[in-house]
Amino acid sequence: MARRRQIYEGKAKILYEGPEPGTLIQYFKDDATAFNAQKKGTISGKGVLNNRISEHIFTLLGHIGVPTHFIRRLNMREQLIRQVEIVPIEVVVRNVAAGSLSKRLGIEEGTQLPRTIVEYYYKDDALGDPLISEEHIACFGWASQEEMHDIADMAIRVNDFMSGLFAGIGIRLVDFKLEFGRIWENDFSRIILADEISPDGCRLWDRESGEKLDKDRFRRDLGGEVEAYQEVARRLGLLPEGIDNAVLDLEKHRKRRGK
């Protein structure tokens, strides 16, 4: 079989040519980076969990009418997606002060924000993804006014939905990052949600203990990264309770049969 063509390799994912025109295969790696790739590592099993968590959230968002690039999961580490022209903007939505917001403005981490903040960063690793305003986006033509309207609208809808989803499983959705893409139909384009939604790009804190269940475990050398991601998947109902017992039972059964 011919090796499939790699289209792009990012920090946590690889994109391959898809089976049909206009599709791609998104492969989730175990690689983790932080601080603009100055810190690098691997979190064994992360890719499998992120593939599953992102599939779940994108599917639910599809159900409430948010258009996304997700088509279907193919296997443990891969999903079929629609090919998009990525808008070079990272959209960050914040409900609680943390990370760069706390650092930049001196607001204590954990402070509930009186209103949700949507921020934009220019996607450029060499520049360290600088914070930008809508003025910059319009001035440099990174997205049209109409596209920005759709992006802001979708970001708020995603936040409302995800805040409720996570609140229901005892998790505080502190902040998260989204990416959007353009798809072309004849001469018209529209904006859909792209990339992934996983603990790599969200801050998720346990409601009771405040424990971090996201990539800050890696960024801040807290350890227990994969266990945290697993806990998110488990609470979302993606790791059926008793699966460990089922595997153990199978092992016992095999041993009994001398295999």
Cβ proximity to ligand UDP, 18 vs 70, nearer residue: 70
Cβ proximity to ligand UDP, 13 vs 18, nearer residue: 13
The token pair that represents 87 in the structure block: 């808008």
Q: CA 177, CA 198: separation in Å to the nearest integer?
A: 10
**Which chain residues interact with ligand UDP by CB under 6 A?**
90, 92, 98-101, 129, 175-177, 201-203, 215
Identify whether the C-beta of residue 61 lies closer than 8 Å to the C-beta of residue 165. no
- Residues 6 or more apart whose CB falls under 8 angstroms from that of 107 comprise 97, 101
Q: How far is the CB of 149 from ligand UDP (least distance, A)?
A: 22
Residue whose Cβ sits closest to ligand UDP: 99
Q: How far is the CB of 216 from ligand UDP (least distance, A)?
A: 8
List C-alpha distances in Å: 98 to 38, 209, 231, 232, 246.
20, 16, 21, 19, 39
Cβ proximity to ligand UDP, 18 vs 204, nearer residue: 204
Q: How far is the CB of 254 from ligand UDP (least distance, A)?
A: 41
Cβ proximity to ligand UDP, 147 vs 214, nearer residue: 214
Q: How far is the CB of 91 from ligand UDP (least distance, A)?
A: 9
Identify whether the C-beta of residue 101 lies closer than 8 Å to the C-beta of residue 110. no
Identify whether the C-beta of residue 63 lies closer than 8 Å to the C-beta of residue 158. no
